[in-house]
Amino acid sequence: MNIILNGKSVDVEKGELLIDVIRRHGIYVPTLCNVEGLSPNGACRMCVVEEVNSGRLVTSCSTEVQDGMDIRTHSPSVLLARKTILELLLVNHPDDCLYCDKNETCELRQLAYELGVRSRRIGGKKYDYMIDASSVSITRDPSKCILCGRCVRVCDEIQGVSAIDFVRRGSSAMVATAFDQGLNVSSCVNCGQCVRVCPTGALTESSSTREVVNALLAPDLHVVVQYAPAVPVTIGECFGYTSGTDVFGKMNAAMRLLGFDKVFSTAFSADLTVMEEASELVSRINNNKVLPMMTSCSPAWIKYVEQFYPDFIPNLSTCKSPQQMMGAVIKSYYARMNNIDPEKIYVVSVMPCTAKKYEAKRPEMLNRNIADVDAVITTRELVSLLKQYNIRFDLLEPEEADEPFGYRSSAGRIFAVTGGVAEAAVRTAYKLITGKELKDPEIKPLRYLEGVKSSQFNIEGLKINVAVVSGLGNARYLLDNIRDKKLDYHFIEVMSCPGGCINGGGQPYGLDSDRIKARMESLYRIDGASDLRTSHNNRFIEKIYKEFLGKPLGEKSHQLLHTHYKKKDTNI
């Protein structure tokens, strides 16, 4: 098929959407409602283009190409329509850009600049809804909502949670929870995917930067920071680096400038998690305990099971997440090693995930009434702190993280991408079962960004079926099929966010799938170039077991590194 695009003849395929053809030819068309991977709905109308033959304006995101179309993407009528739509959206929008958490990344503000909206031509009443700050993870400001529907669709169609939806009608329409209650009493699992896709400041993470700054200023506190494996390959995007650039060395230097006493990598405790989790898997298989065993690294996934699939709680690994394991060993082993009162240690986590804020506050994560982790900030919050402190990230000389918890294998680093936890666990499970190293540690069937992957491993005659899932909607599909006995696995890795932590709810804003792919490829390159690719060969992991923990699944490790979960009502 053939169409005319801005005066030029271009070839197209039947069934293609206009917006895909237009963007493929290097032309930018704005949209406020479109979410990659979901069917288009044309709700915002910002993507309208002119079809000259019919004289109509059509939404390019939901219109399929037709042979002989004559499309103009920036004709006077198109530009007027887009500008008018934007001005109508701004009628009710608060004028508080200076104070909004998304003032640098707001798509509405950016479009206003691009379309030349410099004054208010249309008057109207400003929205003045109550801010919902009930959740420890997510803050909701309905006054800034433009009803684009992105959050609703992601929560429902991708995550399968449906904690929010459109309510009321006409000019009173809004996005809210059931009965317009707080997020804390909704079915929200805190994954933050709604925050990631929201084009305005209607949804943001509940910030903990003030608490972190206060801790750094407290003279009697020993403040340490840990950062998740996904953060070093994403934070650079906020400072002009290409997606996937590994800036862990600059991060170490930057956080020391912020004033942290020690800088550790959560990839170390990912190695620790592998030791416990692989041992637990082997123990369950050998002793005919509950299978399949499911990973417990993702707190949104844990809450999802507790709320929607409580019959699968016994299948969850009892291992704490790497974040919580790190906090636990810092306030026990590290405290004893350095003769510091655990109550005087303040642990800060830098995470790609908003649900980690919820996890750190769970009562199950207390040890003698001392929290494993005291404060959690997202990748975006760390960027905000660095800018507040005027730290020139690009000028910093790379530094190493502090030992012993800064030393990590590349198996710990690939925890950041879907399939990484399973791949790292299989590498160590093979060693535990056979006493030998896996010849090729790269397990290709578990790699890349597909939502559901699986593979079977034959280890000395022991067959282990492994599945990998990312996105809670895909997890629902898997659980339903396991419940109906249509699928049979020994080990299942689940990450709440599509693609894994590299696409977490606390990561830099942006809906470009190429960025996610670049982050993934960077982690695989790091793994391929590493001299240490297995968690069990991390010398500091060996040391902590020898000096303190004893052995995986032992009494000490069970006390510090394992926990339990129980059924939750969806209104808790």
Which one of 206, 317, 409, 535 is the catalytic residue?
317
Structure token digits, residue 171: 């000019």
277 is catalytic: yes
- Give how far Cα 235 sits from Cα of 201, 245, 251, 385, 388, Å: 20, 9, 9, 12, 16
Which one of 262, 356, 431, 453 is the catalytic residue?
356
298 is catalytic: no
Which one of 50, 107, 276, 359 is the catalytic residue?
359
Which one of 277, 306, 381, 493 is the catalytic residue?
277
What residues contact residue 524 under an 8 Å CB cut-off, 6+ apart? 414, 417, 447
Contact by Cβ (8 Å): 520, 499: yes
Helices 248-258 & 379-388 angle (0-180, nearest 10): 50
Residues 361 and 346: their CA atoms lie apart, in Å, by: 14
501 is catalytic: yes
381 is catalytic: no
Which one of 50, 237, 276, 280 is the catalytic residue?
280
What residues contact residue 445 under an 8 Å CB cut-off, 6+ apart? 453, 454, 455
359 is catalytic: yes
Which one of 114, 343, 364, 547 is the catalytic residue?
364
317 is catalytic: yes
Residues 175 and 198: their CA atoms lie apart, in Å, by: 12
Which one of 194, 493, 501, 522 is the catalytic residue?
501
Half-sphere exposure of 113 (CA within 13 A, CB side): 9
Residues 246 and 25: their CA atoms lie apart, in Å, by: 31
Q: Bridge partners of 70? A: 4
> In this structure, is the dihedral angle defined by the CA atoms of residues 362, 483, 500 and 138, taken in order, positive or negative?
negative
100 is catalytic: no
Which one of 155, 188, 297, 319 is the catalytic residue?
297
> In this structure, is the dihedral angle defined by the CA atoms of residues 382, 386, 392 and 398, taken in order, positive or negative?
negative
Residues 31 and 45: their CA atoms lie apart, in Å, by: 7
280 is catalytic: yes
Catalytic positions, written as ranges = 277, 280, 297, 317, 356, 359, 364, 501
